Amino acid sequence: MAIALFLSVLLIAACGLIYELIAGTLASYLLGDSILQFSTVIGAYLFAMGVGSWLSRFIGKGLVQRFITIELLVGLVGGFSSSILFLAFAYTQAFRFVLYLLVIIVGILVGLEIPLLMRILKDRFQFRDLVAHVLTFDYLGALGASLLFPLVLVPKLGLVRGALLFGIVNAAVALWSTWLFREQLPRHQGLRVLCALVLLALGGGMFSADYVMAAADENLYSDEIILSRQTRYQRIVLTRWKDDIRLFLSSHLQFSSRDEYRYHEGLVHPVLAALPTARRVLVLGGGDGLAAREILKYPHIEQVTLVDLDPEMTSLFSTHGYLKQLNAGSLTNPRMRVINADAFVWLEQSRDLFDAVIIDFPDPTNFSLGKLYTTAFYRLLGHHLSQSGFFVVQSTSPLFARQSFWCIVETLKAAQFQTFPYHVYVPSFGEWGFVIAGRQPWHPPVTLPAGLRYLTVSNLPTLFDFPLDMTAVTAEPNRLNDQALVRYYEEDWKKLTH
Amino acid sequence: MRRREILGAPLLQLSRKARPPIAGGYVMDGFALGHRLRDGGRFEPARQTTKVETVIAGGGMAGLSAAWWLLKKGYGDFVLLEMEPEAGGNSRFGQNEVSAYPWGAHYVPVPNRKSPLVRELFEEVGLIENGELNERHLCHSPQERLFLHGRWQYGLEPEVGLSRQGREQFARFEEMVAGRHATGKWTIPHALGEVDGKLEGQGFGAWLKENGFDAPELLWYLDYSTRDDYGSSITDTSAWAGLHYFAARDHDEKGPFCWPEGNGWLVRRLRERAAAKIRTGAVVYRVERRGAGWRVRSAAGDYEAKRVIWAAPSFLASRLVEGAPPALGFSYSPWVTANVTLERMPKMAASAELAWDNVIYGSPSLGYVVATHQSLRTHQEKSVWTWYYAMAEKTPAEARKLLLSASWEYWRDRVIEDLSRPHPDIAECVSRIDVFRNGHAMVRPTPGLLGGEGRRTLLRGLPGLYFANSDLSGISIFEEAQYRGVEAARRVLS
């Protein structure tokens, strides 16, 4: 009998601590700054327990009945606390208010438990044994809870189900108490029905936890993240919103599946359609295989060599179901040769010659990437370009980064190439610029491959016409020993964001 | 596992968090051989004597340049004797699995029209092609940065938090320098121009005070510059030398030239050309008059020669060369160079990327130079940083005492401590620190050295023996070493 009584103390204490830990964890998880969240949650909770203990003096008669009601209330509020908090964060602005309201309600109720229980038991034990035993089991319960929470509850059940499980424990203690204290309970039938109802509600919660989480998640992230991977070189993040898949590399948008065809048709076809005898093509960057998809539309291209730094990038786009569909399986095409290497170093070591080169590097945001846009780089590239060949360079936005764009043109000129700058409107990017370079004049192509969605033979030449706000501005060429481009790029984007 | 071990395990874990220890030690230590030479130690007599028209003693930049010039002019009857296992002197270099790296000189400013010899060599080795500088070997962006007030700024002239008065003094100093540059008399090598005797006789510190320069940032910057180029502080440097650093260079240059192995890149090319003439491990322990010529006694055998080019430091001559004058007024600064191998890069703010030359304001060190800076890779995980310390705040004698007594661990800790200021996590990134201590690294251009009697005597040389070390210029830089070496070669040919 005595053991059973003290066991219920242990369970109650464990439940109380679990709710506190859940509130603290959830607040840290959703709001960040775990030190602040845990400190304020614990402080508010302990204070509320004090309030509960003080309030216990106003409860006079019917102690056992009150005790059981309080247990049921704790079980209900505590059990549903994490569901309520998740939904409050996803759907309302009042997460903090709900958080502290719940913490205070549960705190007050838990604060009432032990004083009431001690008063119920005061006639069965010596006072000094009572205090010793109740507090011993109280602290033991706390220890159990603090171990269960991180080791079992969170990893195995999650926060929503974990809270509900302990709500059920609270309600079970209430139900059990109707037997333990049956002599002191004149009408226990009603209480037992109440207990059953609460248990039913909590059990139902256990089943529908997934729906709660899904509902909350849908509202938390407007764009669903389908993949996030940190490689040696960059962070690859893929998001989906309805039918729009977006790729971010180290937080920079690479493409949106809704309009990437504009970018990649614009990048590839003005050069390749003008080279009907091209056999061998080199792609630098472009590990997503989307430029390669466009290149493979020419049956006379015998081999496409793609050099991209990150093996995880090319392997992702060779194997991932949806991404493979997007690039039409280009990376696993037998005409493809995929090489993972640093482009500058690879060019330095290779002896291969190409009829066309497609350069799709990240924007020159720093001096390391800026090297790939220098006169030295283009001169080296020239050694790999056949006499009649052309190459094209993705050259950032002539509208948002006007001087950067014209700096790339200037750099190509300084490396002794003829240049043919043009621009394409890509809704998710804005106006985007490219430069064709070669050793002789480039002429617009007279045919294009079938199945394009953006380019036509008649609209292609119009891309080479620049509106007044994108026409050439003076710029220094970008050299290894004086990377003007990185400076321009920083200034251009600073102007735009200020 | 025994019970005691089980019980002890948690206690053992209470000890300090361990990180893999930093490996390394002293390299190229030349103290023993140097002191043996100084103290007239015995060397085994040679078994054979070779006759050769000219001996070049010393395979640093001066000796290698003399060889380069002789060979260019079709003169092949000579040997070059180098005491170390590798020729290269202050431009020697090392190499590990991460990168090649310098042990001393690590750049050459873009030569202007007043440095014809440097241009001639640079055209020969492809650094200048059809009058255009080879971009690959020019120092890539960003070239320099300075750690000041807890953050990095690009460029070495302090800008962050500079007072108006400081700004004015920088501008005035630059004006004074530009005026001197415009005269055309400030050249590298300086022998092709004119040395202002009054400035040469005066200390740079005193000159600055006399001209009203007292902004701490300016004084720091100029002191850094003289320590960097000469190994001496502004007070120990002549005003002429202090100004020469700035006034002899073109202002719009997009340089300097630099390489992973530092000036070792030039050494490689000069060594290749003279490979058949170089004898390494050939310490010269005595040079005696022999009739009208000389007998050069070395660990690689004795040589009977008509002429000798003494390209080793001039102060050694009075001990080793019969009849050589003492190097009066010559003093040399001791240096410590540490090559620090990094397994990963420390955390760095995106606002100031790693530069080639990285200097810490207020530090006694000269900061560090990044050996992998000229790499064409966009992504680098490992690197070698060369940390330089010219012991300019001490007298050379005191500094050499410390060099002899301090352990490698002392330098390891000093390097880490110094680099920890800008990079608090550096200790976790470093796998190896190799330390080179050089007791007589560079001649110091102290006031009056150039106009002094000691230098004048050495310049005259002895009959058939010509001094060629860069210390005769009072400035230990590539261009002066090359000039002195070629000048001596010209005297041999004439």
Q: Per residue in B144-171, pLDDT tens? A: 999 999 899 999 999 988 999 999 999 9
The single-letter DSSP state of residue B109 is P
Same domain, A190 and A240: no
CA A145 to chain centre: 31
- Give the C-alpha separation, A249 to A416, whole Å: 32
Same domain, A166 and A270: no
- State the CB neighbour count (10 A cutoff) for residue A426: 21
- HSE, side-chain direction, 13 A CA sphere, residue A353: 6
**Per-residue confidence (pLDDT) for residue B203, from 0 to 100:** 97
CA closest to A310 among chain B residues: B379
Same domain, A233 and A271: no
Q: Rounded to a whole number, what is the distance in Å from the CA of B226 to chain A's nearest CA?
A: 25
Q: Rounded to a whole number, what is the distance in Å from the CA of B144 to chain A's nearest CA?
A: 11
Residues of chain B contacting residue A373, judged by C-beta atoms under 8 Å apart: none
In this predicted structure, the answer to whether residue B252 has a pLDDT above a threshold of 70 is: no
Q: Which of B255, B378, B381 sits opposite A371 (nearest CB)?
A: B378
Backbone dihedral region of A220: left (phi > 0), alpha (psi from -120 to 50 degrees) or beta? alpha
Give the 3-state secondary structure of residue B50. strand
Same domain, A237 and A296: no
Closest CA to B143 of B236, B274, B258: B258
Backbone angles phi, psi at B387, to 5 degrees: -100, 130
In chain A, residues 329-358 whose CB comes closer than 8 Å to chain B:
342-345, 348
Asked if A411 is an interface residue toward chain B (Cβ–Cβ < 8 A), one would say no
B23-45 pLDDT tens trace: 999 999 888 888 888 888 788 88
Same domain, A366 and A400: yes
Q: Which candidate in A252, A365, A481, A488 is best for mutational testing of the B interface (most B CBs within 10 A)?
A: A481
In this predicted structure, the answer to whether residue B350 has a pLDDT above a threshold of 70 is: no
CATH of the domain at A472: 3.40.50.150
A54-98 pLDDT tens trace: 999 998 888 888 888 999 999 999 999 988 988 887 777 788 899
Q: Which candidate in B107, B141, B344 is best for mutational testing of the A interface (most A CBs within 10 A)?
A: B141
Asked if A483 is an interface residue toward chain B (Cβ–Cβ < 8 A), one would say yes
Q: Which candidate in B107, B110, B129, B135 is best for mutational testing of the A interface (most A CBs within 10 A)?
A: B135
Same domain, A295 and A180: no
Same domain, A447 and A354: yes
CA A117 to chain centre: 47
Same domain, A338 and A437: yes
Q: What is the mean pLDDT of chain A?
A: 91
Q: Do A367 and B141 touch (CB under 8 A)?
A: yes
**Per-residue confidence (pLDDT) for residue B364, from 0 to 100:** 95
What DSSP element (H or E) covers B479?
Answer: helix B478-493
Same domain, A235 and A348: no
Task: Read off the pLDDT of each residue in B421-447 and give the average, rounded to a whole number.
Answer: 95
Give the 3-state secondary structure of residue B11. helix
AA letter at B446: T
Give the 3-state secondary structure of residue A137. helix
Overall number of domains in chain A: 3
AA letter at B72: K
Asked if A228 is an interface residue toward chain B (Cβ–Cβ < 8 A), one would say no
Q: Rounded to a whole number, what is the distance in Å from the CA of A344 to chain B's nearest CA?
A: 6
ipTM for the predicted complex = 0.86
Q: Which of B254, B378, B381 sits opposite A372 (nearest CB)?
A: B378
Q: Which CATH architecture has domain B33-95+265-329+447-493?
A: 3-Layer(bba) Sandwich (3.50)
**Per-residue confidence (pLDDT) for residue B1, from 0 to 100:** 47
Chain B residues in contact with chain A using a Cβ-Cβ cutoff of 8 Å: 135-136, 138-143, 254-255, 350, 353, 375-381
- HSE, side-chain direction, 13 A CA sphere, residue B206: 13
Burial status of residue B113 (CB atoms within 10 A of its CB: 0-12, 13-18, 19 or more):
exposed
In this predicted structure, the answer to whether residue B462 has a pLDDT above a threshold of 70 is: yes
Residues of chain B contacting residue A344, judged by C-beta atoms under 8 Å apart: 376-378
Same domain, A247 and A302: no
CA closest to A374 among chain B residues: B135
Question: Which residue range is the domain that position A236 belongs to?
Answer: 221-254
Domain boundaries, given as residue ranges, for chain B: 33-95+265-329+447-493
Q: Rounded to a whole number, what is the distance in Å from the CA of B19 to chain A's nearest CA?
A: 23
In this predicted structure, the answer to whether residue B183 has a pLDDT above a threshold of 80 is: yes
Q: What is the mean pLDDT of chain B?
A: 93
The overall pTM is greater than 0.80: no
Percent of chain A with pLDDT over 70: 97
Asked if A368 is an interface residue toward chain B (Cβ–Cβ < 8 A), one would say yes
Task: Read off the pLDDT of each residue in B68-85 and give the average, rounded to a whole number.
Answer: 97
Q: Rounded to a whole number, what is the distance in Å from the CA of A240 to chain B's nearest CA?
A: 29
Same domain, A231 and A112: no
**Alpha helical stretches, state H, B86-126:** 116-124
Q: Rounded to a whole number, what is the distance in Å from the CA of B279 to chain A's nearest CA?
A: 35
Q: Which of B136, B141, B377 sits opposite A483 (nearest CB)?
A: B141
CB pairs under 8 A between A and B: 60
Give the 3-state secondary structure of residue B213. coil
- Please identify every stretch of chain A with a pLDDT value under 50, giving residue numbers as ranges: 221-222
Residues of chain A contacting residue B254, judged by C-beta atoms under 8 Å apart: 479, 481-482
Which has the higher per-residue pLDDT, B395 or B7? B395
Residues of chain B contacting residue A371, judged by C-beta atoms under 8 Å apart: 140, 376, 378
Q: Do B140 and A367 touch (CB under 8 A)?
A: yes
Q: What tokens were used for A145?
A: 């809870």
Instruction: Show contacts of A205-208: CB within 8 Å, 24+ apart.
Output: A205/A79, A205/A80, A205/A83, A205/A164, A205/A167, A206/A161, A206/A164, A206/A165, A206/A168
Calculate the dihedral angle through the C-alpha atoms of A119, A122, A126, A132, rounding to the nearest 10 degrees.
-30
Same domain, A241 and A298: no
Calculate the dihedral angle through the C-alpha atoms of A339, A345, A351, A356, rounding to the nearest 10 degrees.
70
Residues of chain B contacting residue A482, judged by C-beta atoms under 8 Å apart: 141, 254
Q: Which residues of A are catalytic?
A: 360
Residues of chain B contacting residue A483, judged by C-beta atoms under 8 Å apart: 140-142
CA closest to A362 among chain B residues: B378
Residues of chain A contacting residue B140, judged by C-beta atoms under 8 Å apart: 367, 371, 480-481, 483
Instruction: Using DSSP bridges, classify how beta strands B357-360 and B144-148 pair: parallel, antiparallel or unpaired.
Output: parallel
